[in-house]
Amino acid sequence: MSAQTLLKVTDLQRHFPIREVQGLRMVRATVKAVDGISFSVKEGQTLGLVGESGCGKSTTSRLVTRLDEPTGGTIEFGGRDITHLKEHELRDIRRDVQMIFQDPYSSLNPRQTVGAILSTPLRVHGLHRGKEKARVQELLELVGLNPEHINRYPSEFSGGQRQRIGIARALAVEPKLIIADEPVSALDVSIQAQVMNLLAKLRNELDLAFIFVAHDLGVVRHFCDQVAVMYLGKIVEFGDKKKIYEAPEHPYTQALLSAAPDINVARGIAPKERIRLIGDVPSPIDPPSGCRFRTRCWKAQDICAQEEPPLVTATADVASRAFREGGVHLQACHFPEVKTDLVAEVPA
Ligand SMILES: Nc1ncnc2c1ncn2[C@@H]1O[C@H](COP(=O)(O)OP(=O)(O)O)[C@@H](O)[C@H]1O
Ligand SMILES: [Mg+2]
């Protein structure tokens, strides 16, 4: 039986109206943080959402969890349109969709014990009534913490342990989808792998769907079924993990992969071929015309400034065969790099 679609996002948009100083005047402007993205996540499936800082990943996370409201597009969860539900209508969503935040220091209330932090969501949703303490201890055990530490405060735990508390809080209400927004970026490298292993174990044991946000393709490599690469509010490449890591078609994805050293070793790329991205992501207030990546792209031609490349399969022929195989691969570049050897692998 094939898994059902849990989350479906269509043409999602979040424009923030702001005022900025131009010379001596204050003028109105719009930050196009998320500018028309579409993707879906099936039950038990993991989507990696990857891109440099400022590309719109956290904004997307906040929209999907409905901590923020979109200015365009739709979000469906379990077949229900949740795009503009009011807070009091979001009760089921608040249970089914949970978030793990980047910073395990600021996301936990320092004045509450771990017991209080973990039992609050149980009470809010009326779960495990009268047996909250047992459930909290079970949750602590599940994330590899000592159940006897139930009366301790967040400050008494290390960074990695605090992130485990954040994970336990997300799991408390038995969600269907977890959005993890760079959950290990704030941790020491030595701790990152432990937390990643814990997340992978929980995902498999509890059959959770995940959206895993990262600024680095290396982090999500072993974790994701599919990957969406974001650049300046848009998805520039989307596909099954194998396609993204072994046959990236968009120059931005290639640059991100090139920056992840462990992957380069695996792919046999010599250091001299390393692609270095120059400068920062441009401002989402006034993004470049045509292809947004063109100002940093070594392949850019005139057409790239004039026409925005749509997110499509690289060639129609590949499209039909790849789709029959169930292997999705979309990219938005006027000059994508199509690996013909991988195409030939797909039986006609
Ligand atoms: N509330 C807001 N008001 C104005 N601009 C915002 C707001 N939230 C985010 N932005 C801007 O939107 C862009 C995308 O931000 P964000 O989603 O946090 O990116 P990422 O998580 O990929 O680093 C950034 O340029 C950021 O400054
Ligand atoms: Mg972010």
The pLDDT tens digits of the residues spanning 10-38 come to 999 999 999 988 888 999 999 999 999 99
Ligand 1 site, residue 248, Cβ cutoff 6 A: no
Atom 10 of ligand 1 has which residue's CA nearest to it? 33
pLDDT at 161 over 60: yes
Q: What is the pLDDT of residue 275?
A: 81
Nearest of 69, 117, 116, 71 to residue 93 by alpha carbon: 69
What is the pLDDT averaged over residues 170-187? Answer: 95
Given ligand 1 and candidates 12, 13, 31, which is best to mutate, with the most ligand atoms within 8 Å of its CB?
31
What is the pLDDT averaged over residues 88-104? Answer: 93
Q: Which ligand is nearest to the CA of 51?
A: 1
What is the pLDDT averaged over residues 294-310? Answer: 95
CA dihedral defined by 332, 41, 225, 108, rounded to 10 degrees? 110
Show Cβ contacts of residue 41 under 8 Å, excluding neighbours closer than 6 positions. 5, 6, 7, 47, 177, 209, 210, 211
Q: How confident is the model at residue 278 (pLDDT cuts 50, 70, 90)?
A: confident
Shortest-distance atom of ligand 1 to CA 230: 22
3-state helix, strand, coil in the chain (%, to 5): 35, 25, 40
C-alpha gyration radius of the chain? 21
pLDDT at 279 over 90: no
Q: How confident is the model at residue 212 (pLDDT cuts 50, 70, 90)?
A: very high
The residue with greater pLDDT, 172 or 322, is: 172
Sign of the Cα torsion 283, 288, 291, 295 reads negative
Atom 27 of ligand 1 has which residue's CA nearest to it? 54
Ligand 1 site, residue 294, Cβ cutoff 6 A: no
Is the CB of residue 168 less than 8 Å from the CB of residue 119?
no
Is the CB of residue 20 less than 8 Å from the CB of residue 29?
yes
Given ligand 1 and candidates 12, 14, 16, 64, which is best to mutate, with the most ligand atoms within 8 Å of its CB?
16
Q: Which ligand is nearest to the CA of 186?
A: 2
Q: Please name the CATH architecture into which domain 5-224 falls.
A: 3-Layer(aba) Sandwich (3.40)
Shortest-distance atom of ligand 1 to CA 182: 21
Q: What is the pLDDT of residue 336?
A: 94
Task: Tell me which residue has tokens 């992501």.
Answer: 281
pLDDT at 236 over 60: yes
Ligand 1 site, residue 31, Cβ cutoff 6 A: yes
Ligand 1 site, residue 54, Cβ cutoff 6 A: yes
Q: How confident is the model at residue 348 (pLDDT cuts 50, 70, 90)?
A: very low
Q: What is the pLDDT of residue 211?
A: 97
Q: How confident is the model at residue 261 (pLDDT cuts 50, 70, 90)?
A: low
Q: What value does the mean pLDDT of the chain take?
A: 90
Exposure letters 109-126 (e unless 16+ CB within 10 A, then b): eeeebbbebbbebbeeee
Lowest-confidence pick of 61-65, 118-122, 264-268, 319-323:
319-323
Shortest-distance atom of ligand 1 to CA 283: 25
Q: How confident is the model at residue 129 (pLDDT cuts 50, 70, 90)?
A: very high
Q: What is the pLDDT of residue 326?
A: 53
What is the pLDDT averaged over residues 160-181? Answer: 96
Shortest-distance atom of ligand 1 to CA 61: 17
Ligand 1 site, residue 57, Cβ cutoff 6 A: yes
Q: How confident is the model at residue 259 (pLDDT cuts 50, 70, 90)?
A: confident
Ligand 1 site, residue 282, Cβ cutoff 6 A: no
